[in-house]
Amino acid sequence: MKRTSFCVFVLLFAFAVTAYSGPPIDDREQADIADPEFTWDGKLVDQACKERNIDHNCPVSPATQRFGLVIDGGIILPFDEASNQMTKDALGKGGFKGNIEVSVVGARQQGLFKLESIQVKR
């Protein structure tokens, strides 16, 4: 009986530990990408720069290839490849640099942000 109880306890404990994935940034992190109901507002950053210099401002420029979005609390959401291209298209050719505020719709997917849409606040 003791052995059975111990095995059940170990199995339940193991299940509880593996089921917990940590707290999400917020409920939007868990959004299904097919359901674009969540909107984030923030500032675009040069993601490659941010990866090298976490404390640096890293404003975007026409040379920026990989974008990220800084949202409330300083959280950075790096974009996936298709979203980087969508961002470049939204910004136009060479007519941007510095601090650019945007509103994006989409969700996180495998650690990257997948955009459904982006609107530049000019």
Spatial CB neighbours of 101, under 8 Å, sequence gap ≥ 6: 41, 42, 43, 44, 120, 121
Q: Is residue 84 part of a domain?
A: yes
Confidence of residue 118 (pLDDT cuts 50, 70, 90): very high
Q: Is residue 103 part of a domain?
A: yes
CB 49 within 8 A of CB 66: no
Q: Give mean pLDDT, residues 67-75.
A: 90
Q: Is residue 6 part of a domain?
A: no
Q: Is residue 64 part of a domain?
A: yes
* Residue 105 structural domain: 24-121
Q: Is residue 17 part of a domain?
A: no
Q: Is residue 48 part of a domain?
A: yes
Q: Is residue 8 part of a domain?
A: no
Name the percent of the chain lying above pLDDT 90: 39
Overall pTM > 0.85 = no
Give the pLDDT confidence score for residue 38 in this predicted structure: 83
Instruction: Name the domain count of the chain.
Output: 1
Number of H helices, E strands in the chain: 3, 5
CA distance 120 to 32: 24
Per-residue pLDDT at 33 exceeds 50 = no
Which is more confident, 74 or 5? Answer: 74
Give the pLDDT confidence score for residue 3 in this predicted structure: 65
